[in-house]
Amino acid sequence: MNRDWTKLKLSSNGIPTYDSLLPFVLEVTKNEEETTNKVIKQRLFDFLQVPKEVREKTYPDYPDTEPILPNRVSFTISDLFKAGALKRVKRGVYQITDSGLKLLEKYGGNLSKKHLEAQPEYIQYMSELQLRNQRTDGDSEAPNTEQPELNITKIINTKNNETAIELLDKIRDSDPFFFERLVVNLLDKMGYSGENGDAKVTSRSNDGGIDGIINQDPLGTSTVYLQAKRYKEENVIGRAAIQGFYGALAGVNADRGVFITTSSFSKGSKEFAKGQGIVLIDGIQLTELMLRYEVGVEKANEYIIYRIDNDFFELEE
């Protein structure tokens, strides 16, 4: 495999493009160790014999930002993650997957963005991202040059939707009991428990089809019952599951329930729930709510756009 960075595809500023680095990130992680983002970059630069001045080069107008090449490697890692070639073990720590090893073995130094885009994981990721963007933006039109603030909003929405996709993957890989605690915590954060109410997860051994209970007042006269199903995406919740939850609600004389899943609901399950006072929350809506109420996530950055306060310049009469 090539070890000379100058032989890679370079952009106009003489820095390797992010997609030209794809096979080399897999090459420096093929030992299957859990490796930090920082170490991956260091190994990559050493492998390609990138000189210090190239590693540290920044955009002339933004000298205080992260250097260009390390920033591009972050995009390279991100695309490999989307394609399932790398997995994120924890924050800032990655490990090559069996899929990544197979891609490296098959294509070697010729691995390209086109090969990643053909991976089922990448196709699914982009499909879900498009669906989320449509839900948040309402359309997928080209950037509006007359209203740049709308473009900024779309960029932010896309970034948050990428975070939501990763969040949903982490939830699906979590312990079922953790998921039950998560949804109870979320609904509590949303204000379901009221000012003096309480929220709790039921006993694992004897939940009777009820995973969580939210008392909206101290006396428990107004109660919401929860069921949480941590399923893979392809495991769609059918009508029978909602009927079973309805039966569990009847067993405790309840008239309100919330069914939350990391997958989705069939048309039949939605129709049945609609007439029985049962609220359905699918995986996409779940992570949208988690971002909105900051459950399992934290703010990375905040940006403020200023405008002229015309009232300030009005003369007092």
pLDDT tens, position by position, 156-182: 888 999 999 999 999 998 888 899 899
Lowest mean pLDDT among 48-62, 140-154, 168-182: 140-154
Domain boundary among 98, 118, 138: 118
Q: Are 286 and 187 in contact (CB under 8 A)?
A: no
Check whether residue 86 and residue 184 sit in a common domain. no
211-260 pLDDT per residue, tens:
888 887 666 567 889 999 999 888 999 999 999 999 999 988 887 899 99
Rounded mean pLDDT of 293-299? 92
Check whether residue 17 and residue 103 sit in a common domain. yes
Check whether residue 110 and residue 186 sit in a common domain. no
Check whether residue 112 and residue 10 sit in a common domain. yes
- 258 DSSP β-pair partners: 226, 279
Check whether residue 111 and residue 191 sit in a common domain. no
- Return the higher-pLDDT residue of 166 and 149: 166
Domain-embedded: residue 84: yes
Domain-embedded: residue 211: yes
The pLDDT value given to residue 264: 95
- Give the contacts of 263 (CB within 8 A, at least 6 positions apart): 229, 231, 232, 233, 234, 235, 236, 237, 282, 283
Work out how many domains the chain is built from and give that number.
2
pLDDT cut 70: percent of the chain above it: 90
- pLDDT over 70 (residue 145): no
Place of tokens 């953790």: 178
The pLDDT value given to residue 202: 81
Check whether residue 21 and residue 90 sit in a common domain. yes
- pLDDT over 50 (residue 63): yes
Rounded mean pLDDT of 263-292? 94
Domain-embedded: residue 17: yes
CATH of the domain at 248: 3.40.1350.10
Report the mean per-residue pLDDT for the chain. Answer: 88
- Return the higher-pLDDT residue of 204 and 39: 39
Smallest Cα–Cα separation from 239: which of 260, 265, 210, 211? 265
Domain-embedded: residue 55: yes
Q: Which domain holds residue 273?
A: 176-281
- The pLDDT-based confidence of 14 (bands split at 50, 70, 90) is very high
Smallest Cα–Cα separation from 286: which of 246, 235, 230? 230
Check whether residue 11 and residue 110 sit in a common domain. yes
- Return the higher-pLDDT residue of 141 and 53: 53
Rounded mean pLDDT of 125-132? 91
Rounded mean pLDDT of 68-95? 93
pLDDT cut 90: percent of the chain above it: 60
Domain boundary among 92, 118, 144: 118
- Here the tokens at position 171 are 């939830």
Highest mean pLDDT pick, 145-159, 195-209, 274-288? 274-288
Is the CA virtual torsion 77, 80, 82, 85 positive or negative? negative
- pLDDT over 80 (residue 17): yes
Domain boundary among 118, 150, 166: 118
Check whether residue 272 and residue 186 sit in a common domain. yes
Domain-embedded: residue 123: no
Angle between helices 283-292 and 148-172 (to 10 degrees): 110
Domain-embedded: residue 199: yes
Q: Are 247 and 209 in contact (CB under 8 A)?
A: yes
User: HEC profile for 106-170?
Assistant: HHHHHCCHHHHHCCHHHHHHHHHHHHHHHHHHCCCCCCCCCCHHHHHHHHHHHHHHHHHHHHHHH
Residue 144: φ, ψ to 5°: -95, 110
- pLDDT over 90 (residue 188): no
Q: Are 193 and 215 in contact (CB under 8 A)?
A: yes
Check whether residue 180 and residue 93 sit in a common domain. no
Q: What is the largest CA-CA distance in the chain?
A: 78
CATH of the domain at 16: 1.10.10.10
Smallest Cα–Cα separation from 1: which of 135, 111, 136, 119? 111
Check whether residue 197 and residue 275 sit in a common domain. yes
Domain-embedded: residue 11: yes
Domain-embedded: residue 223: yes
